[in-house]
Structure formats: C-alpha cells, structure tokens
C-alpha cells in the first residue's frame, strides 16, 4: 500500500529522511482491527520522528502519522485514538500507562491507505464532521482539550495565554477556549497569524514577548525555551503553566524563585485519554466548533505539508488524504 515513512533520522534536514512509496501491510497483533484511512493529519511529532526524536534506528523504516479518521471493518465511520496502551494495564487513562506508545513510534502510523489498531482505539466519528476535520482531533485538538479543561482546569470567564498562535495545538486551544467561554490571549511572531487568531476567536493577540495588560490564569506552553520566561511573567500568583512541547528548546532558566514566590503550578500534559477524545468529538457536535485546516493535500504530496510545517508557515492543521 502507498505510505509516507521515515527511513532514517536526520536532525538537521528532516525532510531528507522522508520517503513516499509502497510499503507492506502493517504487521500487528491479530486481534487488532483495520481502518481504511480517509484522512490523516500532520503533527510536529512527525517532524520530530524524522529527526530521530522518539523513534530509534532499529524501528526504521516506520510509517508516520498519529491521527486518522476513516472507515472501520464494520463500515462505521471512526476516529482513531493514537495512544496505544498496554492491554495488560487494565484500562483507565492510557496517557499514564508507562508502556504506552503513539502510533508511528512502535506500531505503523496513519499516513497510509490502511492502519491497524486495537479495537478500543476506535471512537465514533460525529456525522457532522468531515473525515478531514475528524482527522485533526486525536493529537493536536485532544492535547488542547486536556490542557484547557483538565490540566489547567479553566472555567468560563478565566483567561488563558496561548504561545505561538499558528500551531496545530494553539489554533485548537483558541477555538475550543472561545467555544467554552474562556478568554483566549495569544502571542505570535507573525502579524498575519495574529490577525488570523483574532478572526478565529482570540480576544487579544500580542507580539511574542510583549508585556500583557494584566496577568492570566493559565498559559499553554508548546514553544518552550523561546517563550518560557514570558509565560512565567504572564501568570497571576497561583496561576498554572501547562507544558505540552518544547519546539524551540528545552533548557530555559527555570526561574525557581518566581515559581515558589508566586506559587505557580508547572504542569505537564500529553495527548488525552480515549474517553477525552470521545468527549471532544461530542463537544464539536454540541458547540459547532470545527478544526482549523490550513490545507488538505493528497498523501502523494505529503512532502509539501512537511516543508510548510518545518518553515513555520502554517495556521492550523495540514490534512492528507490517501
Ligand atoms: N504533549 C503532547 O501530547 C503534544 C501534543 C501535540 C504537540 N506537542 C508538541 O507541541 C509543539 C507544537 O506542536 P504543533 O503540532 O502544534 O506544532 P506546529 O503546528 O508546528 O506549531 C508551530 C507553532 O510553534 C511556534 N514556534 C515554533 N518555534 C518558535 C520559536 N522559536 N519562537 C516562538 N514560537 C515558535 C510558532 O508560533 P508563531 O509562528 O505563531 O510565532 C508556530 O505557530 C511541538 O513541539 C509538539 O511536539 C505535544
């Protein structure tokens, strides 16, 4: 089947490690089920995999992709939850299972005509969402959902600062926060992305590092080193910074004096549980909120999507259709 894979690791030129072409059907446990992929979305995770982060050489070549929506063996329309837990772990929050992996880390991913997953990883696709929209939910949108409503515990009327407004996670947080009555402030290095964020529902948009008019209740930090100091300064005493990524580096000054003196909470968050993905899908139905898609490309043109993400040109998600 046609698929998009990492064939080696290249830290400096990740696109050089990308290969498009025929690959054998995925080999997985027999009890798993096959989904005919109708749409799959690109995440920064796929670029990290090409750089060799989280994907060891002995697992190459590896079909990339964590997210998909498609058609299950019984003909139903489904969203694929990308967190594969240990079947012995007894259920619960898969993201806390120490032996969990994401599709494309240990098992072949979704950038292919077919993907195989455990049956419990299938979540019904709301009829109101297209396959392209549904394919955006399992990583970026689920991550933003868990950050806002679980890890940061935001309530309507509170304020969240979202760093790096154009990203997949960031655009999800803007749309979800707005739909839930949370006041969303954003930063971006790009004027065009700040304008797009306001159009999407952000209350105010600031240049990266700009002083804010008042302190916020929580920060969604996915940029890391480049924005960390600003994130800490943006928080009110007792506020919460939720870290989901470190695109620009992972070794800023921790500023421990500020953390203890202002009693800040520094909280990590990874993906979300199957239950949270199902709730997110319902939330899109109830609220009418829809994933922000920058572009849809046939899988055969996946390289263009990867290049746009590597160049930070996107506002929202890239979706591939096999
Ligand atoms: N923990 C999890 O489960 C989880 C889930 C999803 C993603 N992540 C991680 O979160 C990060 C974002 O993921 P994504 O898929 O949303 O990626 P993305 O779509 O590529 O996000 C790009 C955004 O990051 C910002 N950015 C990048 N480098 C920056 C820099 N040096 N200074 C300031 N801003 C910078 C940009 O902001 P502007 O151009 O607007 O300034 C850009 O809009 C990645 O590191 C990813 O691995 C983690």
The string of pLDDT tens digits covering residues 299-308 is 999 999 999 9
pLDDT at position 87: 74
158 lines ligand 1 (CB under 6 A): no
Closest C-alpha among 198, 193, 163, 192 to residue 178? 198
Domain 139-268 adopts which CATH fold?
Answer: Rossmann fold (3.40.50)
Closest C-alpha among 118, 116, 123, 155 to residue 277? 123
292 lines ligand 1 (CB under 6 A): no
How close is the Cα of 302 to the center of ligand 1, in Å?
Answer: 19
At residue 197, the 3 state secondary structure works out as: helix
65 lines ligand 1 (CB under 6 A): no
> 193 near 162, Cβ under 8 Å?
no
Where does the pLDDT of residue 267 fall: very low under 50, low under 70, confident under 90, or very high at 90 and above?
Answer: very high
Q: Over 90: is that where the pLDDT of 116 sits?
A: yes
**Tokens linked to 214:** 């008042």
Q: Over 90: is that where the pLDDT of 194 sits?
A: yes
pLDDT at position 99: 92
Which range among 80-89, 130-139, 201-210 shows the weakest confidence by mean pLDDT? Answer: 80-89
* CB atoms inside a 10 Å sphere around CB 130: 16
| pTM greater than 0.75 | yes
Q: Over 80: is that where the pLDDT of 89 sits?
A: no
How close is the Cα of 44 to the center of ligand 1, in Å?
Answer: 7
Q: The domain 2-136+291-321 belongs to what CATH superfamily?
A: Medium-chain alcohol dehydrogenases, catalytic domain (3.90.180.10)
How far apart CA 220 and CA 228 sit, in angstroms, is 10
How far apart CA 150 and CA 271 sit, in angstroms, is 12
DSSP 42-102: --HHHHHHHTTSS--GGG-SEE--S-EEEE-TTS-EEEE--EE--GGG-SS-GGG-TT-EE
- Which sequence spans correspond to the domains of the chain? 2-136+291-321, 139-268
- Determine the residue of 40, 44, 45, 48 to mutate for testing ligand 1's pocket, defined as the one with the most ligand atoms within 8 A of the Cβ atom: 44
At residue 216, the 3 state secondary structure works out as: strand
């Amino acid at each position: 089947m046609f698929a998009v894979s990492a064939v080696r690791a290249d830290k400096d030129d990740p696109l050089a490690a990308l290969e498009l072409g025929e690959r054998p059907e995925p080999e997985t446990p027999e009890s798993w089920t096959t989904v005919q992929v109708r749409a799959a979305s690109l995440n920064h995770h796929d670029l990290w995999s090409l750089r060799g982060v989280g994907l060891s050489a002995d697992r190459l070549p590896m079909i990339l992709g964590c997210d998909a929506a498609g058609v299950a063996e019984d003909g139903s329309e489904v969203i694929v939850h990308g967190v594969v837990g240990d079947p012995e772990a007894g259920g619960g929050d898969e993201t806390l299972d120490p032996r969990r992996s994401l599709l494309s880390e240990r098992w072949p991913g979704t950038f292919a005509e077919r993907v195989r997953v455990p049956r419990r990883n299938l979540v019904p696709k709301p009829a109101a969402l297209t396959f392209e929209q549904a394919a955006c939910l399992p990583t970026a949108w689920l991550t933003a959902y868990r950050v806002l409503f679980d890890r940061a515990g935001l309530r309507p009327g509170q304020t969240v600062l979202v760093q790096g407004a154009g990203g997949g996670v960031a655009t999800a947080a803007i749309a979800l926060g707005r739909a839930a009555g949370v006041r969303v402030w954003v930063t971006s290095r790009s004027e065009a992305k700040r304008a797009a964020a306001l159009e999407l529902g952000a209350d105010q948009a600031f240049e990266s590092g700009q002083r804010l008019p008042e302190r916020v209740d929580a920060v969604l930090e996915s940029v890391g080193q480049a924005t960390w100091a600003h994130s800490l300064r943006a928080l009110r005493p007792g506020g919460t910074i939720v870290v989901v990524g470190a695109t620009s580096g992972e070794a800023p000054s921790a500023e421990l004096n500020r953390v203890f003196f202002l009693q800040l909470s520094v909280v990590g968050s990874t993906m979300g549980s199957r239950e949270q993905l199902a709730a997110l899908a319902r939330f899109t139905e109830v609220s009418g909120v829809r994933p922000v898609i920058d572009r849809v490309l046939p899988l055969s043109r996946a390289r263009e999507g990867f290049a746009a993400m590597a160049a930070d040109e996107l506002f929202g998600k890239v979706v591939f259709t096999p």
